[in-house]
Amino acid sequence: MADFEQAIPIILKDEGGYSNNKSDKGGETYCGISRLDNPNWVGWKIIDGYKMAHPLHNGDIIKDTVLDGFVHAQYKAKYWDKIQGDNISSQRVANFLFDWFVNSGYHAVEHLQKCLDIRADGVMGSGTVAATNTHIIASISSMVSW
């Protein structure tokens, strides 16, 4: 089964550090977590405290293990768990779907369901997980001669 700890570095590589670009509709963000969409996220207290002592520039990453834990927890609860990443049998497929879901939300699952030719409701339920895993096994089996 897929492992969140293997997937999260891929996401964070693309999501970067701190950003407060006035032309970005997401506003202030840290590691892709928008203050606009997540105003009560506990990580903002650490970031705000850091900003009081040090100016933050676009791309800056705060070296704080507690903040890192909050970032990981946010991605796990808001994205990984919603795609049931722990139940996907292929790490590569889980990584891909995780990234897609971070950037597209339920549309990622909806499109996956259309590809699997099952009801496209945008919810990664047990049926979608099972169809995903079955399709992965079938695809791999057809590519590999035993």
pTM (two decimals): 0.90
Write the single-letter amino acid at 71: V
Tell me how far apart the alpha carbons of residues 59 and 15 are, in angstroms, rounded to a whole number. Answer: 9
Tell me how far apart the alpha carbons of residues 85 and 78 are, in angstroms, rounded to a whole number. Answer: 12
For 6-97, where are the E strands, in sequence order?
Answer: 18-19, 29-30, 33-34
pLDDT tens string, the chain, 146 residues long: the values are 999 999 999 999 989 899 998 888 889 999 999 999 999 999 999 999 999 999 999 999 999 999 999 999 999 999 999 999 999 999 999 999 999 999 999 999 999 999 999 999 999 999 999 999 998 877 765 654 44
Listed residue (133, 145, 34, 146) closest to 88, CA to CA: 133
Match 């492992």 to its residue by tokens.
3
Q: Which domains does the chain have, with CATH numbers?
A: 4-143 (1.20.141.10)
